[in-house]
Amino acid sequence: MFVSAAPTFAAEPDGGGAPRTAGRPELETQAEGMAKFQQGKLRISADRLTYDYALDQARASGNVLVSRNGDIYRGQELQLSVERFEGYFLRPSYFFARTNAGGSAARVDFLSADRAVATAATYTSCPPDGSGDPAWLLTTDRVRFDFAANEGVAEGTVLRFLGVPILAAPALSFPLTDERKSGWLPPSVNLDNKSGLRVAVPYYWNIAPNRDATLTPTVSARRGPGLETEYRYLEPRYNGLVNLNLLPNDNVTGQSRYALDLAHEGALSTGWVFKASSARVSDDSYWKDFPRGVSSLTPRLLLTDLQTRRHFVSGGGDWLAYARVQRWQVLQDPELANAIDAPFERSPQIGVRVRRRLGRGFDVGIESEFNRFVLPPGVTPTVAGLLPQPEVRSGNRWHAIGSLAWPYASAGWSFTPRLSVNTAAYTFDHAESGRTTDSRTIPTLSLDSAWVLERDSSWFGRATRQTLEPRLLYVYTPYREQALLPNFDATAKDFSFESIYTDNAFAGVDRVSDANQLTAGVTTRIFDHTTGAEVLKLGVAQRFLFADQQLTADGVPLQQRFSDVLLLGSSRLVPRWVFDGSVQYSPDIRRSARSVVGARYSPRPFRTVNATYRLARGLSEQVEMGWQWALANQRSTGGSHKASATTPTGAGGCKGRWYSVGRFSFSTKDSRITDSLLGFEYDAGCWIGRIVTERLSTGRSEATTRLLLQLELVGLSRLGSNPLQVLKDNIPGYRLLRDTHAGPTSATSYD
């Protein structure tokens, strides 16, 4: 082969006779045998090849092969104007590197370097297997390829799968790369026990490189027609999205229903950063009827959050100024027993924080904030009460938290004494016991010391580095009566490795626990000396009370001198295994009070099994298990999809491997499966089939069950309902069998 910007022409021996080259210099050259022509990235080879210099035209016949930018054409007769890339190819087969797919045609007309028209053409990513047609085949009367616009438009189209026509359209467009394009996406079909059969046909609109929208008309057998919309935008200084799902007339409830989800964030030239998000639905039952239609992690508490902040440096200190408004939509159940607690709304929250380093190593931190608290509409103080407090529906709070620390650190050791003061002042909208205002001030002294000791070691024959990290934290906070103060935002912290090293048992501002206590703990870690990866972590911590803790979440003083013992561990020492767990052990009952223990086994890509056990004694006990695993393999020879470290093993050709995927959560206390997912995937190399069933609990005796079916034609598109996000969200370690080929960035459209 020859590489040159100017035309290069040659004939090489092919073992069947002597090559022959003839012609008129600088006018025309002819070659027979293994004739080859190259100009730039264009390569042509054939049995007979002629190049006309004046017309810049190449003519080839007999075993013609054209290669350009990774695309390959093979056929019997070619005529091509080289520089303009205009001409025709008779009875060629073709392969596009962009999509890893190709086909054949009666004729291909090249209109330019980026445009071509194929007549009586086929298209597939499946290689021939000797048994007839490939597994999936797109046949067209005529197809136009526009690589500059990333679009193929086929006329008189029939799509066959396993020889059965599954789709016919007068015109069909599909992408030629993974770039975005406007058009109708493949229809999505869902089946669940709440809405019945539901068909959705999305239209993707590529408005601009930084803006797009998806409009999805839907029809539900039980609920009627609807419309789902998504709009996304990305600008240099701001970005966001808006989702609106509308059901004009739900045939089941007889009312209009909707779900709105929006998010926006950006920055101003003045240095202020702003962020807005909101989730709203039409009614209290929406989260039950459409459990996947609410994006919030708390589907019964939907937040509207507007905030802005600015960070700046002034007077030698780091400053943060901020303002915020929070509103909640609370989805309550008609049954009082199923009512949920709702937090207070903040309208507004305005504050400033500053940290400054003083002379002689002192650190000063100050936080000052004003809040206006109001209960969400329809929520009673009884429901909202998180701790013992007077009945307050609304009020104002100003608080200030100041701290003075003198940290000292050297190699492997640190010691930080800290004095802080928490002050809060309240005003009530409604007088309680004749009071309209109240306040309190609570100081706290803490001494925190931590060590990090290291040594080289060896585990199971591998060089490692081990650390030993002891820590001591002493906290003293005098008791202050707070039962008559309102509680707008304070909740008891979970007892964990993170919270045990804090000076307050409550999160929020309104409650400050008294303390005269010492927390002691030690953690050891082992790192692989070569990679630096952590392969083992073990920790233990316990708290000792020098005096009873008077202020607690349940109002009962804590008299237990030694707290429960916290144990923490994770390990990757055993190849292919990952273990992790945390245990809260109670010396009083000599059993664990809370624990989370998990293990994952991943011997190879696309093979993973994980199990988790969760216990909160007296409250809940749950076992979770998830997996992705190959079941059977039927290999084939050849094919354009080769097995590799990142590709499923049986992916060659169009015969492949079955995979089982699933996850379930079982409540041992209730003796029932709460949530479950079970499915199968079949990867045939050029197509992938998926069938998944999902069950989501929406109450003790209520659940939503749905069936997801999907056919992915590699190099073309995905048809059916998409279970991929469900699988990724629910199965730890789940991996896609193929790179992404569908969705808005790779849309097949129908005109």
pLDDT at 85: 86
User: Cα–Cα distances in Å, from 723 out to 167, 632, 666, 697, 727?
Assistant: 21, 22, 22, 18, 6
Closest among 56, 48, 115 to 81, alpha carbons compared: 56
Give CA–CA dist 319/705, Å, rounded: 51
pLDDT tens figures, 4-54: 334 565 555 544 444 566 656 667 788 887 788 888 888 888 888 888 888
Among the candidates 31, 49, 76, a domain finishes at: 76
Q: Is there a domain that residue 115 lies in?
A: yes
Helix (H) or strand (E) holding 384, with range, is helix 381-384
Residue 749 has pLDDT above 70, yes or no: no
Q: Is there a domain that residue 194 lies in?
A: no
Residue 460 has pLDDT above 50, yes or no: yes
pLDDT at 655: 60
pLDDT tens figures, 301-353: 899 999 999 999 987 889 999 999 999 999 887 766 667 778 899 989 999 99
Give CA–CA dist 91/106, Å, rounded: 4
pLDDT at 131: 57
Q: Is there a domain that residue 226 lies in?
A: no
Residue 117 has pLDDT above 50, yes or no: yes
Residue 180 binned pLDDT confidence (cut-offs 50, 70, 90): confident
pLDDT at 13: 53
Least confident range of 118-127, 384-393, 455-464: 384-393
Residue 433 binned pLDDT confidence (cut-offs 50, 70, 90): low
pLDDT tens figures, 495-510: 998 999 999 999 999 9
Q: Is there a domain that residue 409 lies in?
A: no
Residues 535, 683, single domain; the answer is no
- The rounded mean pLDDT for the chain is 84
Residue 534 has pLDDT above 50, yes or no: yes
For residue 460, the enclosing domain spans: 440-573
Is the separation of the CB atoms in 643 and 649 below 8 Å? Answer: yes
Residue 84 has pLDDT above 50, yes or no: yes
Residue 121 has pLDDT above 50, yes or no: yes
47 CA to centre of own chain: 53
Residue 385 binned pLDDT confidence (cut-offs 50, 70, 90): very low
Residues 68, 118, single domain; the answer is no
Highest mean pLDDT: which of 58-62, 346-350, 482-486? 346-350
Least confident range of 26-30, 177-181, 281-285: 177-181
Least confident range of 51-65, 427-441, 518-532, 640-654: 640-654
CA contacts within 13 A on the Cβ side of 85: 17
| Range 417-446 average pLDDT | 88
pLDDT at 653: 44
Residue 154 has pLDDT above 90, yes or no: no
Residue 674 binned pLDDT confidence (cut-offs 50, 70, 90): confident
Residue 652 has pLDDT above 50, yes or no: no
pLDDT at 550: 94
115 CA to centre of own chain: 37
Residues 507, 583, single domain; the answer is no
pLDDT tens figures, 523-533: 999 998 888 88
Residue 713 binned pLDDT confidence (cut-offs 50, 70, 90): confident
The CA radius of gyration of the chain, in Å to the nearest whole number, is 34
Least confident range of 149-153, 172-176, 436-440: 172-176
Residue 365 binned pLDDT confidence (cut-offs 50, 70, 90): very high
Helix (H) or strand (E) holding 398, with range, is strand 394-405
Q: Is there a domain that residue 638 lies in?
A: yes
pLDDT tens figures, 87-106: 999 999 988 887 778 889 99
Please name the residues in contact with 268: beta carbons below 8 A apart, sequence gap of 6 or more: 237, 274
pLDDT at 432: 58
User: Cα–Cα distances in Å, from 93 out to 118, 140, 172?
Assistant: 10, 14, 21
Q: Is there a domain that residue 98 lies in?
A: yes
- Distance linking the first and last C-alpha atoms of the chain: 44
Task: Pick the more confident residue, 296 or 255.
Answer: 255
Helix (H) or strand (E) holding 473, with range, is strand 462-477
The whole model's pTM is what? 0.77
Residue 650 binned pLDDT confidence (cut-offs 50, 70, 90): very low
pLDDT at 386: 45
Domains contained in the chain, number: 4
Residues 659, 746, single domain; the answer is yes
pLDDT at 420: 96
Helix (H) or strand (E) holding 371, with range, is strand 363-374
pLDDT tens figures, 223-234: 999 999 999 999
Residues 566, 621, single domain; the answer is no
Residues 38, 66, single domain; the answer is yes
Q: Is there a domain that residue 206 lies in?
A: no
pLDDT at 4: 37
Closest among 550, 547, 545, 548 to 562, alpha carbons compared: 545
Among the candidates 124, 153, 177, a domain finishes at: 177
Residues 65, 143, single domain; the answer is no
Say which residue the tokens 């048994």 belong to: 131
What percent of the chain has a predicted confidence (pLDDT) above 90? 44
Residues 461, 585, single domain; the answer is no
Residues 664, 691, single domain; the answer is yes
Closest among 288, 235, 295, 300 to 257, alpha carbons compared: 288
Residue 633 has pLDDT above 60, yes or no: no
User: Which two tokens mark 124?
Assistant: 């597939």
Express the helix, strand and coil content of the chain in percent, nearest 5 each: 5, 60, 35
Give CA–CA dist 202/28, Å, rounded: 54
Residue 284 has pLDDT above 80, yes or no: yes
Residues 706, 739, single domain; the answer is yes
| Range 373-386 average pLDDT | 65
Residue 638 has pLDDT above 80, yes or no: no
| Range 423-440 average pLDDT | 82
pLDDT tens figures, 541-598: 999 999 999 999 888 999 999 999 999 999 998 889 999 999 999 988 889 999 999 9
Q: Is there a domain that residue 641 lies in?
A: yes
Residue 289 has pLDDT above 90, yes or no: no
Residues 674, 585, single domain; the answer is yes
Highest mean pLDDT: which of 423-437, 472-486, 655-669? 472-486
| Range 144-168 average pLDDT | 84
Residues 522, 617, single domain; the answer is no
Q: Cβ of 481: how many Cβ atoms within 10 Å?
A: 9
Is the separation of the CB atoms in 635 and 652 below 8 Å? Answer: yes
| Range 353-366 average pLDDT | 91
pLDDT at 17: 45
Among the candidates 43, 76, 109, a domain finishes at: 76
